[in-house]
A and B are shown apart, each in its own frame.
Chain A
Amino acid sequence: MDPGSRRQQRTLGLLAGLALVGLGTLVLLPGRDSVTVATPALVLVVPGIVAGLVGGRLAGVLTAAVAALSLDVAFIEPYGRPTVHLVDDVVALTAFGAVALTVATLVAQANDRRRAAEQRAQEVLRLSEEKARIERDQHRLSTEKIALEQAEDARRALLRSVSHDLRTPLAAIRAITSDLRAGASYDAATRDELLDVVGDEAERLDRLVANLLSLSRIEAGALEPELQAVDLAELLDDRVRRLSRVLRDVRVETTLPVGLPLVDADYTLLDQVVTNLLENAARHAPRHSVIHIDAREAGDLMEISVSDEGDGVPPSQREWIFEPFRSGEASRSSGIGLAICKAIVEAHGGTIRVADTHPEARRPGPPPPPAVVAAEPATGTGANGLHVPLPAAGPAVPAAPSGRPGSRFTFTLPIHRVRPDVARPEVTA
């Protein structure tokens, strides 16, 4: 309690005490000859108690003193003067004074203690609130810290994987050129092989740089496909030919239905998607296995799949395999290729997903009898959510010679719809 309000309390207590002394005196005064001095003495103890309760010890003591004086003057003969004649009255007055003072003091002390206890209780409450607030702050800060650490981890992972991916081709190129420069003597075949490695690694760097540029465009929100009608057969054929070095240890089979419509796509970006998927497949495919590319119509969309005969993508990794810098542990890649595929496909309004080429290879025990090919809705636009099995003409899904699940990446693109009134003259011309 602050000193100002304490003084106020004391004044209030004193005034209340004095008022009660006055009141008690006035009430008892008319009958003072018919009662003994004990009655007013008992009544006049009360103002001291009240003053002590309200105003503290000083107010109580002063009130008790005034009450004693009032008792003497008003109720003990000779009236009207602060004097005492009888021994009885002296004893009564002294006892009164002692009782009034003691009671007022005790009451005031008890009151002070109660107040102090209340204050302490309030303090405890305040401190516990403060503690809770600090704990909330700490929790918030630690949450923020975790988020920051995660961002920092992601940044580090980015730097680590990009620098690893940039450095590996550079290391091979530098090792070979420094070696040739030092005049190492090679037979023609080895020399050609080494020069091929330099060429391959330079191309790998080129693809990586293309991906990094796309990534920066994606992050800047500047990925705007320039749509044109693209003939998938032409694009796939050209890309497979250009990747012949990357794909030299595998066989690529492309199965496209006759009369496949054109798709609406940015040629360069779509080329990058196909490149990344083929490079990814080549990285995970066993030697001499088959990488299969197929495409088919699904409503308004074209579904394009790249399947390999590798170990597949475990279901637990399918959630984040398209996130940047999250390639599988054993993978030798920066993990941005698939993230870029996703961003590009989505910028075209399509979707991308991965499944097992041979899901039965993942389950222990004998493979189940052949069933309808995956019943997975394409993009929500499919009529009944069921894939129509591919025409029997092509071996749509290659046999898995090794019993590996294989991974099958499927993405969708809008089919180029020719409006008859516009297109007709063009076609005939």
Chain B
Amino acid sequence: MTTDDAALGQPLVLVVDDEPPITRALSAALAARGYKADVASTGQQALDQTALRDPAAVILDLGLPDLDGIEVLRRIRSWSNVPVIVLTAEGAEDRKVAALDDGADDYVTKPFSTPELLARLRVALRHRTKARDGGAGDEPVLVVGDLSIDMPRRIVEVDGRRLELTPKEFGFLALLARHPGKVLTHRMILQEVWGPDYGTESEYLRVYASQLRKKLAEDPAQPRLVTEPGVGYRLIDRDTPTG
């Protein structure tokens, strides 16, 4: 259990899945880490409980018997910024992208490892805390591990070493650094950095990501800038405890 979780007391996590074995496993794992767990087995229940119980986070399976999971997500997003982590089946890249574009904070592919899901959950919860405490992205200097980005002066340093970045490289890296640990879809990055007319040119991002990795002198075995194939990119915060 991290200090963030402790600061929130016992955060309530709503688990939405129609498979009792999964909800039982997740409820137990959450309870063992000091969360309270609520379970919903349909999309309608998920909407009702999100509205009534105001959970700190929602773990939402996209394959529900009554409503499409993405529809549930959209409806939640119409009134709530609660962190949502979606569970998807393997090979459904388009569903992941759709969920992220519609406001999911992260996704985990079934079958998933519980420690990994919990790590994603902690990242999502920390984002919400940060956003509530003063708004993410407003800080003049972003620090992610040994990487620091001075936004007003547009200076990027790794371990005290200054990097020369092009404006687009800077924008790409700064965008990811504003959301450490969170996956951003190709569309989100392109529209934010390249402009609203872009969205499908994921090959640009491939090229820029590889240039950035070179400049960051990434260890290929443990990259900071992680490619999520078919979905997008995320910047790993090494200080985030995983597992």
Q: What residues make up the interface of A, taking CB atoms closer than 8 Å to B?
A: 163-164, 167-176, 178-179, 182, 184-186, 190, 193-194, 197, 200-201, 329-330, 332
Contacts and interface: CB of A to CB of B under 8 A. Distances in A.
A227 to B, nearest CB: 37
B87 to A, nearest CB: 8
Nearest to A190: B28
A260 B89 CA distance: 48
Interface of B: 18-19, 21-22, 24-26, 28-29, 31-33, 63, 65-66, 89-90, 110-117, 243
Given A167-B111, A182-B115, A172 B32 contact: no
A295 B22 CA distance: 37
Contacts of B21: 168-169, 172, 197, 200-201
A197 B24 contact: yes
B24 to A, nearest CB: 6
Contact of B19 (A179, A182, A184, A332): A332
Secondary structure call for the A interface = helix
Contacts of B31: 190
Nearest to A331: B65
Given A174-B112, A178-B115, A179-B29, 14 more contacts: A164-B63, A167-B90, A167-B110, A167-B111, A168-B19, A168-B110, A171-B111, A175-B114, A179-B25, A184-B32, A186-B28, A193-B28, A194-B25, A197-B24
Given A186-B28, A190-B28, A168 B114 contact: no
Contact of B115 (A167, A179, A194): A179
Nearest to A172: B21
B2 to A, nearest CB: 14
Contact of A171 (B24, B32, B65, B112): B112
Contacts of B19: 168, 171-172, 332
Nearest to B65: A330
B112 A175 contact: yes
Contacts of A330: 65-66
Contacts of B90: 167
A164 B111 CA distance: 11
Most chain B beta-carbon neighbours within 10 Å: one of A179, A182, A186: A179
Contact of B22 (A164, A175, A200): A175
B89 A194 contact: no
26 contacts: A164-B89, A167-B90, A169-B21, A171-B110, A171-B111, A171-B112, A172-B21, A175-B22, A175-B26, A175-B29, A175-B111, A175-B112, A176-B28, A178-B115, A179-B25, A179-B32, A179-B114, A182-B243, A184-B33, A185-B32, A190-B32, A193-B28, A194-B24, A194-B25, A197-B25, A330-B65
Contacts of A182: 114-115, 243
A201 B89 CA distance: 18
A167 B25 CA distance: 15
A161 to B, nearest CB: 11
| Most chain B CB atoms below 10 A, which of A170, A178, A186, A329 | A178
Interface centre among B21, B65, B116 (most CB of A within 10 A): B21
Given A164-B89, A167-B89, A178 B113 contact: yes
A89 to B, nearest CB: 96
B65 A175 contact: no
The listed residue with most A CB atoms (<10 A of its CB), out of B26, B29, B112, is B29
Contacts of B65: 329-330, 332
A197 B21 CA distance: 6
Contacts of B22: 168, 171-172, 175
Contacts of A332: 18-19, 65
Given A167-B89, A168-B21, A330-B65, A174 B32 contact: no
A176 B112 contact: no
A200 B31 CA distance: 22
A174 B112 CA distance: 7
Given A167-B90, A168-B22, A176 B32 contact: no
A193 B33 CA distance: 17
B104 to A, nearest CB: 18
A164 B64 CA distance: 12
B25 A176 contact: yes
A193 B243 CA distance: 22
Contacts of A201: 21
Contacts of A197: 21, 24-25
A279 to B, nearest CB: 14
A136 B114 CA distance: 58
> Shortest 5 CB-CB distances between A and B: which pairs?
A172-B21, A179-B114, A178-B113, A171-B111, A174-B111
Contact of A194 (B28, B110, B112, B243): B28
B18 A176 contact: no
A193 B114 contact: no
Nearest to A201: B21
A368 B154 CA distance: 81
Contacts of B113: 174-175, 178
Contacts of A173: 111
A134 B119 CA distance: 62
Given A182-B115, A194-B24, A163 B89 contact: yes
A194 B24 CA distance: 8
B25 A175 contact: yes
A427 B21 CA distance: 49
A189 B26 CA distance: 16
A332 B111 CA distance: 17
Contacts of B18: 332
Nearest to B33: A184
